[in-house]
Amino acid sequence: MHRSLMFITRVATSVGLLYFGLSGINFATIQSRLSYINPLWIALAIAVAIFQIFIGAPRWCEISALCQAPLGNLQALRYNIIGGFFNQTLPSSIGGDAVRLWLVKCTGAGWRAATYSILIDRVVGLLALAFIIIASLPWSYAMIGDADGRRTLILINLATLGGGAGFLLVGHLHCAWVKRLWPIIHVRACSAIANQVIFSKSNGPKIAVLSLTIHALTVVIAWCCARAVDAPSDFARLLMLTPPIILITMIPLSIAGWGLREAATMVAFGYAGLAPSDGAVISILFGAVYFIVGALGGLVWIFSAENRSGYIQAAPPTKD
Protein backbone atom coordinates (compact mmCIF):
# COMPACT_ATOMS: atom_id res chain seq x y z
CA MET A 1 0.00 0.00 0.00
CA HIS A 2 2.82 2.36 0.93
CA ARG A 3 4.67 1.69 -2.36
CA SER A 4 1.50 2.24 -4.39
CA LEU A 5 0.88 5.53 -2.61
CA MET A 6 4.44 6.70 -3.27
CA PHE A 7 4.14 5.75 -6.95
CA ILE A 8 0.82 7.60 -7.31
CA THR A 9 2.30 10.62 -5.54
CA ARG A 10 5.25 10.77 -7.93
CA VAL A 11 3.01 10.34 -10.98
CA ALA A 12 0.88 13.21 -9.71
CA THR A 13 4.03 15.27 -9.11
CA SER A 14 5.22 14.62 -12.68
CA VAL A 15 1.83 15.63 -14.12
CA GLY A 16 1.64 18.68 -11.86
CA LEU A 17 5.14 19.87 -12.76
CA LEU A 18 4.41 19.38 -16.45
CA TYR A 19 1.15 21.33 -16.13
CA PHE A 20 2.58 24.28 -14.21
CA GLY A 21 5.75 24.32 -16.29
CA LEU A 22 3.93 24.34 -19.60
CA SER A 23 0.97 26.49 -18.53
CA GLY A 24 2.67 29.73 -19.63
CA ILE A 25 3.96 28.31 -22.90
CA ASN A 26 2.43 28.88 -26.31
CA PHE A 27 1.41 25.34 -27.25
CA ALA A 28 1.06 26.35 -30.89
CA THR A 29 4.82 26.97 -30.93
CA ILE A 30 5.52 23.57 -29.37
CA GLN A 31 3.14 21.86 -31.78
CA SER A 32 4.76 23.62 -34.71
CA ARG A 33 8.22 22.46 -33.59
CA LEU A 34 7.12 18.88 -33.00
CA SER A 35 5.34 18.66 -36.34
CA TYR A 36 8.64 19.10 -38.20
CA ILE A 37 10.81 16.58 -36.38
CA ASN A 38 13.76 15.29 -38.38
CA PRO A 39 13.78 11.54 -37.60
CA LEU A 40 17.45 11.17 -38.56
CA TRP A 41 18.54 13.39 -35.66
CA ILE A 42 16.31 11.43 -33.26
CA ALA A 43 17.78 8.18 -34.54
CA LEU A 44 21.26 9.58 -33.94
CA ALA A 45 20.26 10.62 -30.41
CA ILE A 46 19.00 7.07 -29.72
CA ALA A 47 22.25 5.59 -31.04
CA VAL A 48 24.28 7.93 -28.80
CA ALA A 49 22.13 6.97 -25.78
CA ILE A 50 22.76 3.28 -26.45
CA PHE A 51 26.50 3.94 -26.81
CA GLN A 52 26.34 5.81 -23.51
CA ILE A 53 25.13 2.61 -21.81
CA PHE A 54 27.95 0.65 -23.47
CA ILE A 55 30.71 2.84 -22.07
CA GLY A 56 29.09 2.87 -18.64
CA ALA A 57 29.64 -0.89 -18.32
CA PRO A 58 33.48 -0.91 -18.00
CA ARG A 59 33.33 1.85 -15.35
CA TRP A 60 30.90 -0.19 -13.29
CA CYS A 61 33.08 -3.29 -13.71
CA GLU A 62 36.09 -1.47 -12.26
CA ILE A 63 34.06 -0.20 -9.31
CA SER A 64 32.32 -3.53 -8.64
CA ALA A 65 35.66 -5.34 -8.52
CA LEU A 66 36.83 -3.01 -5.74
CA CYS A 67 33.55 -3.61 -3.91
CA GLN A 68 34.04 -7.40 -3.98
CA ALA A 69 31.11 -7.81 -6.38
CA PRO A 70 32.94 -8.57 -9.65
CA LEU A 71 31.03 -8.33 -12.93
CA GLY A 72 31.97 -9.14 -16.52
CA ASN A 73 31.68 -6.42 -19.15
CA LEU A 74 28.81 -8.15 -20.95
CA GLN A 75 27.04 -8.80 -17.65
CA ALA A 76 27.42 -5.17 -16.56
CA LEU A 77 26.20 -4.00 -19.96
CA ARG A 78 23.10 -6.18 -19.77
CA TYR A 79 22.30 -5.01 -16.25
CA ASN A 80 22.75 -1.36 -17.30
CA ILE A 81 20.35 -1.83 -20.21
CA ILE A 82 17.77 -3.44 -17.92
CA GLY A 83 18.29 -0.65 -15.40
CA GLY A 84 17.56 1.87 -18.15
CA PHE A 85 14.13 0.28 -18.59
CA PHE A 86 13.28 0.53 -14.90
CA ASN A 87 14.55 4.12 -14.83
CA GLN A 88 11.53 4.92 -16.98
CA THR A 89 9.02 3.30 -14.64
CA LEU A 90 10.39 3.99 -11.15
CA PRO A 91 10.84 7.31 -9.29
CA SER A 92 13.46 9.81 -10.47
CA SER A 93 16.08 8.97 -13.09
CA ILE A 94 17.82 6.52 -10.74
CA GLY A 95 14.98 4.07 -10.06
CA GLY A 96 16.75 1.36 -12.07
CA ASP A 97 19.56 1.30 -9.52
CA ALA A 98 17.41 -0.76 -7.17
CA VAL A 99 16.92 -3.35 -9.91
CA ARG A 100 20.63 -3.35 -10.72
CA LEU A 101 21.31 -3.99 -7.04
CA TRP A 102 19.01 -7.03 -7.13
CA LEU A 103 20.72 -8.33 -10.24
CA VAL A 104 24.19 -7.99 -8.70
CA LYS A 105 22.95 -9.71 -5.55
CA CYS A 106 21.71 -12.59 -7.69
CA THR A 107 25.25 -13.18 -8.95
CA GLY A 108 26.21 -14.33 -5.46
CA ALA A 109 27.58 -11.05 -4.12
CA GLY A 110 26.57 -10.02 -0.61
CA TRP A 111 24.03 -7.29 -0.03
CA ARG A 112 26.70 -4.90 1.21
CA ALA A 113 29.02 -5.45 -1.76
CA ALA A 114 26.14 -5.14 -4.24
CA THR A 115 24.85 -1.96 -2.60
CA TYR A 116 28.31 -0.39 -2.46
CA SER A 117 28.93 -1.10 -6.16
CA ILE A 118 25.69 0.64 -7.17
CA LEU A 119 26.09 3.60 -4.82
CA ILE A 120 29.72 4.25 -5.73
CA ASP A 121 29.00 3.92 -9.46
CA ARG A 122 26.28 6.53 -9.05
CA VAL A 123 28.42 8.78 -6.82
CA VAL A 124 31.38 8.71 -9.22
CA GLY A 125 29.02 9.77 -11.99
CA LEU A 126 27.66 12.59 -9.83
CA LEU A 127 31.16 13.76 -8.96
CA ALA A 128 32.05 13.89 -12.67
CA LEU A 129 28.87 15.88 -13.29
CA ALA A 130 29.78 18.23 -10.44
CA PHE A 131 33.26 18.70 -11.93
CA ILE A 132 31.76 19.71 -15.29
CA ILE A 133 29.33 22.15 -13.66
CA ILE A 134 32.06 23.78 -11.59
CA ALA A 135 34.64 23.85 -14.40
CA SER A 136 32.16 25.54 -16.76
CA LEU A 137 31.11 28.21 -14.21
CA PRO A 138 33.06 31.13 -15.79
CA TRP A 139 31.36 30.59 -19.14
CA SER A 140 27.88 29.72 -17.83
CA TYR A 141 27.97 32.73 -15.46
CA ALA A 142 28.86 35.03 -18.37
CA MET A 143 26.10 33.50 -20.51
CA ILE A 144 23.37 34.18 -17.94
CA GLY A 145 22.50 37.85 -17.66
CA ASP A 146 19.61 37.51 -15.20
CA ALA A 147 20.60 38.21 -11.57
CA ASP A 148 18.31 35.47 -10.18
CA GLY A 149 19.73 33.03 -12.69
CA ARG A 150 23.29 33.84 -11.65
CA ARG A 151 22.43 33.39 -7.96
CA THR A 152 20.80 30.06 -8.74
CA LEU A 153 23.85 28.96 -10.71
CA ILE A 154 26.20 29.94 -7.87
CA LEU A 155 23.98 28.05 -5.39
CA ILE A 156 24.06 24.91 -7.55
CA ASN A 157 27.84 25.15 -7.84
CA LEU A 158 28.32 25.61 -4.10
CA ALA A 159 26.00 22.68 -3.37
CA THR A 160 27.78 20.36 -5.81
CA LEU A 161 31.23 21.43 -4.63
CA GLY A 162 30.33 21.08 -0.95
CA GLY A 163 28.54 17.78 -1.41
CA GLY A 164 31.29 16.22 -3.52
CA ALA A 165 34.18 17.41 -1.36
CA GLY A 166 32.34 16.48 1.84
CA PHE A 167 31.67 12.95 0.64
CA LEU A 168 35.30 12.36 -0.38
CA LEU A 169 36.59 13.78 2.93
CA VAL A 170 34.45 11.38 4.99
CA GLY A 171 36.64 8.52 3.77
CA HIS A 172 39.64 10.14 5.47
CA LEU A 173 38.00 10.49 8.88
CA HIS A 174 39.41 8.21 11.56
CA CYS A 175 37.57 9.48 14.62
CA ALA A 176 36.25 6.83 17.00
CA TRP A 177 32.68 8.12 16.85
CA VAL A 178 32.68 7.84 13.04
CA LYS A 179 33.36 4.12 13.35
CA ARG A 180 30.45 3.62 15.76
CA LEU A 181 27.56 5.34 14.00
CA TRP A 182 25.80 2.87 11.70
CA PRO A 183 24.97 5.22 8.78
CA ILE A 184 28.38 6.91 8.89
CA ILE A 185 30.18 3.56 8.83
CA HIS A 186 28.74 2.75 5.40
CA VAL A 187 29.13 6.28 4.05
CA ARG A 188 32.78 6.23 5.15
CA ALA A 189 33.33 2.83 3.52
CA CYS A 190 31.80 4.04 0.23
CA SER A 191 33.83 7.23 0.41
CA ALA A 192 37.06 5.28 0.94
CA ILE A 193 36.36 3.10 -2.11
CA ALA A 194 35.37 6.15 -4.17
CA ASN A 195 38.68 7.81 -3.26
CA GLN A 196 40.47 4.64 -4.33
CA VAL A 197 38.57 4.60 -7.62
CA ILE A 198 39.09 8.28 -8.46
CA PHE A 199 42.67 8.77 -7.30
CA SER A 200 44.11 5.41 -8.35
CA LYS A 201 47.04 5.87 -10.76
CA SER A 202 46.08 2.72 -12.65
CA ASN A 203 42.28 3.03 -12.83
CA GLY A 204 41.61 6.68 -11.99
CA PRO A 205 42.31 8.18 -15.45
CA LYS A 206 40.20 5.51 -17.15
CA ILE A 207 37.29 6.09 -14.74
CA ALA A 208 37.59 9.87 -15.22
CA VAL A 209 37.56 9.64 -19.02
CA LEU A 210 34.60 7.26 -19.04
CA SER A 211 32.61 9.38 -16.57
CA LEU A 212 33.23 12.66 -18.37
CA THR A 213 32.45 11.04 -21.74
CA ILE A 214 29.13 9.74 -20.45
CA HIS A 215 28.07 13.27 -19.47
CA ALA A 216 29.41 14.73 -22.71
CA LEU A 217 27.23 12.26 -24.61
CA THR A 218 24.21 13.50 -22.63
CA VAL A 219 24.90 16.95 -24.05
CA VAL A 220 25.23 15.43 -27.53
CA ILE A 221 21.80 13.82 -27.12
CA ALA A 222 20.28 17.17 -26.09
CA TRP A 223 21.97 18.83 -29.09
CA CYS A 224 20.59 16.15 -31.45
CA CYS A 225 17.11 16.81 -30.05
CA ALA A 226 17.58 20.53 -30.69
CA ARG A 227 18.73 19.87 -34.25
CA ALA A 228 15.75 17.55 -34.81
CA VAL A 229 13.37 20.50 -34.47
CA ASP A 230 15.82 23.14 -35.75
CA ALA A 231 15.83 24.95 -32.40
CA PRO A 232 18.43 27.76 -32.20
CA SER A 233 20.44 26.16 -29.37
CA ASP A 234 24.10 25.67 -30.22
CA PHE A 235 26.26 22.95 -28.67
CA ALA A 236 28.27 25.37 -26.51
CA ARG A 237 25.17 26.70 -24.75
CA LEU A 238 23.78 23.23 -24.22
CA LEU A 239 27.13 22.20 -22.74
CA MET A 240 26.64 24.92 -20.12
CA LEU A 241 22.93 24.30 -19.48
CA THR A 242 22.50 20.52 -19.64
CA PRO A 243 24.65 19.35 -16.66
CA PRO A 244 22.81 21.48 -14.04
CA ILE A 245 19.48 20.36 -15.49
CA ILE A 246 20.52 16.70 -15.26
CA LEU A 247 21.59 17.25 -11.65
CA ILE A 248 18.21 18.76 -10.77
CA THR A 249 16.40 15.95 -12.60
CA MET A 250 18.00 13.41 -10.25
CA ILE A 251 15.95 14.76 -7.34
CA PRO A 252 13.50 11.86 -6.64
CA LEU A 253 10.27 13.81 -7.06
CA SER A 254 8.85 12.45 -10.30
CA ILE A 255 8.80 9.46 -12.62
CA ALA A 256 11.90 9.32 -14.84
CA GLY A 257 12.39 13.04 -14.22
CA TRP A 258 9.30 13.98 -16.26
CA GLY A 259 7.92 17.36 -15.34
CA LEU A 260 10.91 18.30 -13.22
CA ARG A 261 13.22 18.14 -16.25
CA GLU A 262 10.87 20.23 -18.40
CA ALA A 263 10.45 22.87 -15.69
CA ALA A 264 14.21 23.08 -15.08
CA THR A 265 14.98 23.26 -18.81
CA MET A 266 12.51 26.07 -19.45
CA VAL A 267 13.85 28.09 -16.52
CA ALA A 268 17.46 27.51 -17.63
CA PHE A 269 16.66 28.50 -21.22
CA GLY A 270 14.91 31.63 -20.02
CA TYR A 271 17.91 32.65 -17.89
CA ALA A 272 20.23 32.06 -20.86
CA GLY A 273 18.18 34.29 -23.14
CA LEU A 274 16.67 31.40 -25.12
CA ALA A 275 13.02 30.66 -25.76
CA PRO A 276 11.52 28.56 -22.93
CA SER A 277 9.25 26.88 -25.48
CA ASP A 278 12.35 25.57 -27.28
CA GLY A 279 13.60 24.25 -23.97
CA ALA A 280 10.30 22.46 -23.42
CA VAL A 281 10.43 20.83 -26.86
CA ILE A 282 14.05 19.73 -26.45
CA SER A 283 13.31 18.33 -22.99
CA ILE A 284 10.29 16.37 -24.24
CA LEU A 285 12.32 14.89 -27.10
CA PHE A 286 15.20 14.18 -24.70
CA GLY A 287 12.84 12.24 -22.44
CA ALA A 288 11.34 10.44 -25.45
CA VAL A 289 14.80 9.28 -26.58
CA TYR A 290 15.52 7.71 -23.20
CA PHE A 291 12.01 6.24 -23.12
CA ILE A 292 12.70 4.46 -26.43
CA VAL A 293 16.08 3.22 -25.19
CA GLY A 294 14.37 2.11 -21.97
CA ALA A 295 11.83 0.17 -24.03
CA LEU A 296 14.71 -1.70 -25.66
CA GLY A 297 15.94 -2.46 -22.16
CA GLY A 298 12.48 -3.79 -21.38
CA LEU A 299 12.85 -6.33 -24.18
CA VAL A 300 16.21 -7.40 -22.77
CA TRP A 301 14.56 -7.79 -19.36
CA ILE A 302 11.62 -9.82 -20.74
CA PHE A 303 13.93 -12.34 -22.38
CA SER A 304 16.57 -12.33 -19.64
CA ALA A 305 17.36 -15.48 -17.70
CA GLU A 306 16.69 -13.67 -14.41
CA ASN A 307 13.16 -12.74 -15.44
CA ARG A 308 12.31 -16.14 -16.91
CA SER A 309 13.53 -17.99 -13.84
CA GLY A 310 11.84 -15.63 -11.44
CA TYR A 311 15.03 -15.72 -9.37
CA ILE A 312 14.84 -12.06 -8.40
CA GLN A 313 11.40 -12.50 -6.92
CA ALA A 314 12.34 -15.74 -5.24
CA ALA A 315 15.68 -14.69 -3.80
CA PRO A 316 15.34 -14.59 -0.01
CA PRO A 317 16.81 -11.65 1.88
CA THR A 318 20.11 -12.45 3.51
CA LYS A 319 22.41 -10.69 5.93
CA ASP A 320 26.02 -9.87 5.22
- Average pLDDT in the 184-207 region? 87
Residue 136 has pLDDT above 50, yes or no: yes
Q: Are 124 and 194 in contact (CB under 8 A)?
A: yes
Of 212 and 145, more confident: 212
Most confident among 79-93, 147-161, 276-290 (mean pLDDT) = 276-290
Q: 36 CB contacts (<8 Å, ≥6 apart)?
A: 229, 230
- Average pLDDT in the 66-79 region? 91
Where would I find the H helices in 67-110?
A: 73-87, 96-105
CA separation (Å) from 13 to 20, 267, 268?
Answer: 10, 18, 20
- Provide Rg for the chain, Cα atoms: 20
Confidence of residue 285 (pLDDT cuts 50, 70, 90): very high
pLDDT of residue 257: 76
- Average pLDDT in the 233-248 region? 90
pLDDT, tens only, 207-225:
999 999 999 999 999 999 9
Confidence of residue 160 (pLDDT cuts 50, 70, 90): confident
Residue-wise burial string across 119-156, b where 16 or more C-beta atoms lie within 10 A, e elsewhere: bbbbbbbbbbbbbbbeebeeebeebbeeeebbebbeeb
pLDDT of residue 318: 43
Residue 158 has pLDDT above 50, yes or no: yes
Residue 57 has pLDDT above 60, yes or no: yes
pLDDT of residue 314: 42
Strands, E assignment, the chain: none
244-248-252 Cα angle (round to 5): 155
Q: Are 213 and 54 in contact (CB under 8 A)?
A: no
pLDDT of residue 317: 44
Q: How confident is the prediction for the chain on average, in pLDDT?
A: 82
Q: Are 99 and 304 in contact (CB under 8 A)?
A: no
Residue 98 has pLDDT above 70, yes or no: yes
pLDDT of residue 15: 54
Rounded Cα distance between 22 and 26, Å, is 8
Q: 210 CB contacts (<8 Å, ≥6 apart)?
A: 55, 56, 58, 59
